Structure formats: C-alpha cells, structure tokens
Structure 1
Amino acid sequence: MPKKSMRVVIPIADEEGRRLSEHFGRAPYFAVIEIDEGKVVDREVIPNTSEHFGGYGRPPDRLLSLQPDAIITVGMGPRALSRFQEADVAVIQAEGLDVEANLRRFLEGSLRELTEGCLEARWR
C-alpha cells in the first residue's frame, strides 16, 4: 500500500496524460501526481526537457529534482532504474498504457516493482 502522502511521476505520450509513453526516457511529457490519503489531489503535466529532446541532463536527474516517491512506467533502461533505486524512489511496472487504470492499481497496491532494466532501451 502506498504512503499516505506521496508524489508519483508517470511518463506520458501526450499533454492530455491519458496514455503512458512506451519509452521512459523519450516520453514527451511526464505527469506529476500528488496523492494524499489515497486520493489524487493535484496533477501537473510537464514537458521532457532532457537531452533526448534537445535540452540538457538525463530524465532521471530532471525527475529526481521533483522529489518523487514513485515512478510508474512500462519499463526503463538499467542506468535510469539504478539511478532511481539509489535515490530510494520506487519504480513500479505499469500494466498496459492507461494512466488512470495504472494509478488505480497502484493505489490498490496491485502493481509490482520493476527490478530489471530493459536491455533494448539503448539509444538507436
């Protein structure tokens, strides 16, 4: 069961925030979701301004500056996963691409922690 109050970040495919991005580092946006007492109390969509999109820094560094408690994602590369694990941020494996369904499952405690990075998550 998640903590009473927490910040969750989800890589999303568009500004509407309905669908997870299938690639963590190249997600065009991230949904930053504030949860209190098991309910979503605030939601913000921020652009991915990392070097993958012509900006600076890597996505984990950008997101760690937001002080998340958890990341819900389809998958991520081993370096990003390791970076979050070192910072004690839970990385949670999404089931499907529906953001609301994954948030509901997360709040119910039915999603599992991601323990291995995707080997195909290399720059092509």
Structure 2
Amino acid sequence: MKIAVITDDGKTISQHFGRAQYYLILTIEEGQVVAREMRNKMGHSHFVSQSPAEESHGAGHGMDASSHNKHVSMAETIADCKVLLCGGMGMGAYQSMTQLNIQPVVTTHRDIDEAVQAFIDGKLIDHTELLH
C-alpha cells in the first residue's frame, strides 16, 4: 500500500494541505516502510491565475465545484495512494480526497516517521475537528 504525506522538507508533516510543496510517498508492505519517494505537489499558488481575487475563507470555502476541480488536480500525483496524512486541510479538500478514494487523515503528529508508525499500528487518530 502507498500512503502520501504532505511535507515541505521530507521530515515533517505540513500544517496546510493547499500550501505544502511536496508529497512524500511511502510504500508499506507487511507493516514496514519499504520505499520513499518525493513528488511535487500542486498547491494554491498554481491556481492564482484562475482566481484573481482571493476568495474569502468563510463558511463554504473550498466546497464549490471549482475548488473540487483544483483538489482533483492536486491529487492526480497521488492517485496510486490509499491514504493522505496532513496536519490540516479545508473541509472541501477533505471531502474531495474521500470522493477520490483517498482516505485523508488529519494528524497532530509532526514527525512523518512517528505518524506513519502510528498509522501502521492502527493508532493514528483522524482529527477532523481541525478541518477548516
């Protein structure tokens, strides 16, 4: 199984899905990480030309069809992954990942290796209260 982790440095989990620069892809077999791969990740900055006026981050932000299409674009790179670990994301991105059959998990862990081990052990908590 492959899981993706949003990161800017390959060691820590980024706090915001849309702003992270990379995905760290981890291949897990028989409870062990057997491969790691960094992949570029599309983010908010890639869509600036599509929405010249910055949208408000109020209720409903990121829940419209245009936002879903952006989330789909961000997820193309991880279409082979079953899980996405992040430190935070919007409700719209969370729902989009779910619709794409990628299980998003919002974690309070910052260290990637600790979070991945907790996931492998079945002890990683999805902190949906941190969605915005």
**What is the rounded CA distance, in whole Å, between the counterparts of 1:47 and 1:79 in structure 2?**
21
User: TM-score, normalization: structure 1?
Assistant: 0.76
Q: Which of the pair has more CA radius of gyration? A: 2
Which segments of 5 or more consecutive residues in structure 2 lack a partner in the other structure? 51-68
Aligned residues: 111
Gaps of 5+ in 1: 1-5, 120-124
Task: Give the secondary-structure state (helix, strand or coil) at the position aligned to 1:9.
Answer: strand
TM-score by length of 2: 0.72
**For residue 122 of structure 1, what is the aligned residue in structure 2?**
none
The percentage of aligned residue pairs carrying the same residue is 25
4+ residue runs over 6 A deviation:
none
Q: Which has the higher helix share?
A: 2
Q: In the alignment, which residue of structure 1 is the partner of 2:107?
A: 94
CA RMSD of aligned residues (A): 2.2
User: What per-residue deviation string (whole Å, max 9, x for no partner) do you get for residues 15-55 of structure 1?
Assistant: xx1111111110011101111111111111112234x2336
1:63 maps to amino acid? A
> How many Å separate the matches in 2 of 1:25 and 1:10?
12
The residue matched to 1:25 in structure 2 has which SS?
A: helix
2:46 corresponds to 1:54:
yes
Aligned 1:28-39 pairs, distance under 5 A: 28-39=21-32
* Secondary structure, aligned partner of 2:110: coil
Residue type of the alignment partner of 1:53: S
Q: Which residue pairs with 2:18 in the alignment?
A: 25
